[in-house]
A and B are shown apart, each in its own frame.
Chain A
């Protein structure tokens, strides 16, 4: 049974338990629920993590902006072509410190998702991110990025407007941006579209987030010409937060409550809040030259031959 099926079953049992008047039936149901919960969330497979990362009720970037920052003002547009709603960018306070926030934003409703392209950015989204990043550098504001995208938006117009160039420009610019950058991978980190906002001094992942060179579906279909082997693909791709932490790409993991952060968002927010507080303190007290050298080395060492 899949994780989603189990979740449905647990919900049904819970509903049944709420209905019953009989104490022994109540206890019986409780036992059943506990057992099934344990079975479901114990030893999650990589595919289970993918499922949780894409869970429909998983909180989105907007919840984190609301939960972590005060007086947030959204700033719009790339000054060139459009305002890509797949990215929410703006300025606000984090514990009284002005910061710039750049977040890939999936929607919560179908309508919002249509407007936000399910968090898949167009070139103008990356160019908005670039504009705000340079603005942050100018005003010495640290940047917090939130990654949550299946990948950059695939489309004719996106190519015409230079999707690749826009992503490349992000990697290029963020690599020596003279202000601290912390990246938080919320849920899905899909390929170059996610990497564009990940060239940072710190990369922090939520426990049930995934990060990979492409989607498990794409992997199975390109490598094995068989997209039914998607679960197997997820396993071999090493895309869970634990895999990335082990590799040293993720610097910190944020534990999630059983069943995913939607079950206790506050717990997760508090954890991230503390993490940001600590790391921003370190990074803002690091000399610019050292900050940039360390950021350079963070990526330089990946796959280094000596």
Chain B
């Protein structure tokens, strides 16, 4: 009897959380405030003009963070997107204090189940596997579920012989999941190596910010690496470096422009041009015109 009650209770809980989730998903992405302050030039920008401008500050050109869903809308041809593993949620297997609450909070505020969305869709008619990370979900940190979803995407791209695109944004490995989160870096890198050996094309898209374990694995392994302007890209955090070396960091340190100069990325592309550039690159890898 106790067991039955417990089960029923769990079901109810599950149902109410599903309802909540559903509600959040339904919520349109039209924000309550009419203005948003630019992180870079601090100008107050009306939302409608931001939306019109792909969330690029019309005053200073700063590329604001966008949600994974927005990124998918920007890149993928309408009506061609098919998401998979969308229901996967992280478990607090290490019983890390506060992790459950953090997950719940992130799920509530983003309407997502995890920090990455994966699916198949078309970019100007070319079918691709696309993974898009979202920095609003626990800083886009990578735990086992994020790792698994991305790894499965690599394997899918390999099986279906499709190009792979990963839009990266992350604070790094998800500390709450301990060593397993670190191992996701190795797991995905190994899958990418196999994919590459089979001749697969992988384009890494780095967006603000791409740091820590994600930067030290799949973000840097693209056949072609593209970044949005001014994105923060680096391994160690600025403060950690500064505290260690006790020196001022050079201006523009760890920006996309810095990385281009240092030889780590192929190109910086404005958000407005992103879809067309990626589509051109896909075509260039698709054989003769």
Contact = CB atoms under 8 A, between A and B. Distances in A.
Contact of B260 (A83, A84, A98): A83
Contacts of B262: 77, 81-83
Interface residues of B, number: 22
A83 B267 contact: no
A80 B265 CA distance: 10
Contacts of A92: 284
B124 interface: no
Chain B contact residues: over half helix, strand or loop, or mixed?
A: loop
A79 B264 contact: yes
A77 B288 contact: no
Nearest to A97: B288
A77 B266 CA distance: 6
A84 B260 CA distance: 11
A249 interface: no
Contacts of B280: 71, 73
Nearest to A128: B263
A139 B196 CA distance: 10
A139 B263 contact: no
Interface string A66-85: 00000101111111111110
A96 B288 contact: yes
Contacts of B201: 139
B285 interface: yes
A73 B281 contact: yes
Interface string B15-40: 00000000000000000000000000
B252 interface: no
Interface string B258-284: 001111111100000000010011001
Contacts of B220: 79
13 contacts: A73-B281, A76-B265, A77-B262, A78-B263, A79-B263, A83-B261, A83-B262, A91-B281, A92-B284, A128-B263, A135-B223, A138-B223, A139-B285
